[in-house]
């Protein structure tokens, strides 16, 4: 191939990029950088090729090309090549490469050889962004994974306690008690939860009764999510800034999603009801 061929390949790659034709963009950029590995923009081409495969959710290629991009990036300067490699390496469960990528980006992660299991604080995660796009709270275990703390609605296809890999680019905000948190989109389910979601109908006379139900399940390592805590908003609003009340609870009749072994739910619900039988009642609904 001639330099004219290289220019044509470059044009094809970035025209495909503008059209979001990630297959053509990724393949063309990979061919181009393999032909011109010493070009001054080779690092950019490696990065863009890896990013195209990330958009395609081809994690093997994103990992392979991401290693090349990161090898040409400056460490400790928050270069996104390291972040994208960190995501791909996490999905591939190459923990040594993931640790090195996060450190190359400029983050501090725990030492070790296996899976990164730390506490990077809580953050909102948009589950299944191409579907319902439900936003839940999750605890970050590493820069790219978080464990779901809410009980997602059955329609979301996700469960309490599941670990998801999320993107590093914020897509919206949630403000709670004056503090703003970035919302990150789920990329994939990393580890499923064994706790099914069961929906029950509950009548509670006061908000404190609702909070008592949530506290009871929390004591056992499970979770209860009243429907009064779920807000339905459009995708445009969800991807902007939204204020939330951390103490929100509503009395009355409502559905509650429970994350617990099905055979333990009746006893827990009876315990909750018996503590204030004149104010509390429940009926079984469905398992999800």
Condensed to tens digits (0 to 9), the pLDDT of residues 36-77 reads 999 999 999 999 999 999 999 999 999 999 999 999 999 999
- What's the per-residue H, E or C state across the chain? CCHHHHHHHHHHHHHHHHCCCHHHHHHHHHHHHHHCCCCCCHHHHHHHHHHHHHHCCCHHHHHHHHHHHHHCCCCCCCCHHHHHHHHHHHHCCCHHHHHHHHHHHCCCCCCCCCCCCCCCCEEEEECCCCCCCCEEEEEEEECCEEEECCCCCHHHCCCCCCEEEEEEEEEEEEEECCEEEEEEEEEEEEECCCCCEEEEEEEECCHHHHHHHHHHHHHCCCEEEEHHHCCCCCHHHHCCEEEECCCCCCCEEEEEEEECCHHHHHHHHHHHHHCCCCCEEEEEEEEC
Q: What is the pLDDT of residues 16-34, one digit of tens each?
A: 999 999 999 999 999 999 9
Tens of pLDDT, residue by residue over 244-258, are: 544 556 777 899 999
Q: What is the pLDDT of residue 173?
A: 92
Q: How confident is the model at residue 169 (pLDDT cuts 50, 70, 90)?
A: very high
Mean pLDDT comparison of 224-228, 230-234, 257-261, highest-scoring range: 257-261
Q: What is the pLDDT of residue 5?
A: 80
Say yes or no to pLDDT of 178 above 70: yes
Confidence class for position 269, pLDDT limits 50, 70, 90: very high
Taking residues 171-199, what's their average pLDDT?
95
pLDDT range class, residue 124, cuts 50, 70, 90: very high
The full set of domains in the chain, from first to last, is: 3-105 (1.25.40.10), 122-191 (no CATH), 197-287 (3.30.70)
The pTM (predicted TM-score) of the whole model is 0.88
Using a pLDDT cut of 90, give the percent of the chain over it: 83
Give residue 243's pLDDT band: very low, low, confident or very high (50, 70, 90). low
- CA atoms within 13 Å, Cβ hemisphere of 194: 2
Sorting pLDDT into bands at 50, 70 and 90, what band is 177? confident
Q: How confident is the model at residue 229 (pLDDT cuts 50, 70, 90)?
A: low
pLDDT band per the 50, 70, 90 thresholds, residue 132: confident
């Amino acid at each position: 191939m001639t330099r004219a061929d290289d220019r044509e390949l470059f044009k094809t790659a970035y025209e495909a990029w503008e059209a979001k034709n990630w297959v053509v963009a990724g393949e063309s950029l990979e061919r181009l950088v393999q032909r011109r590995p010493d070009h001054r923009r080779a690092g950019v081409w490696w990065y863009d090729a890896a990013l195209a495969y990330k958009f395609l959710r081809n994690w093997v290629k994103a990992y392979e090309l991401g290693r090349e991009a990161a090898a040409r990036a400056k460490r400790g300067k928050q270069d996104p090549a390291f972040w994208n490699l960190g995501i791909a390496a996490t999905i591939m469960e190459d923990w040594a490469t993931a640790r090195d990528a996060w450190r190359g980006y400029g983050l501090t992660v725990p030492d070790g050889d296996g899976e990164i299991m730390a506490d990077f604080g809580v953050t909102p995660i948009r589950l299944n962004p191409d579907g319902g796009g439900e936003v839940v709270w999750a605890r970050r275990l590493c820069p790219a994974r978080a464990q779901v703390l809410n009980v997602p609605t059955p329609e979301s296809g996700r469960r309490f306690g599941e670990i998801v890999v999320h993107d590093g680019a914020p897509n919206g905000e949630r403000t709670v008690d004056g503090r703003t948190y970035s919302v990150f989109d789920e990329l994939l389910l990393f580890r499923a939860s064994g706790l099914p979601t069961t929906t029950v109908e509950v009548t509670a006379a006061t908000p404190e009764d609702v909070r008592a139900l949530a506290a009871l399940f929390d004591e056992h390592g499970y979770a209860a999510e009243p429907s009064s805590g779920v807000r339905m908003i459009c995708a445009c609003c969800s991807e902007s800034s939204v204020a939330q009340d951390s103490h929100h609870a509503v009395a009355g009749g409502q559905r509650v999603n429970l994350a617990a072994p099905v055979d333990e739910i009746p006893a827990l619900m009876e315990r909750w009801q018996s503590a204030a039988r004149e104010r509390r009642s429940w009926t079984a609904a469905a398992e999800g």
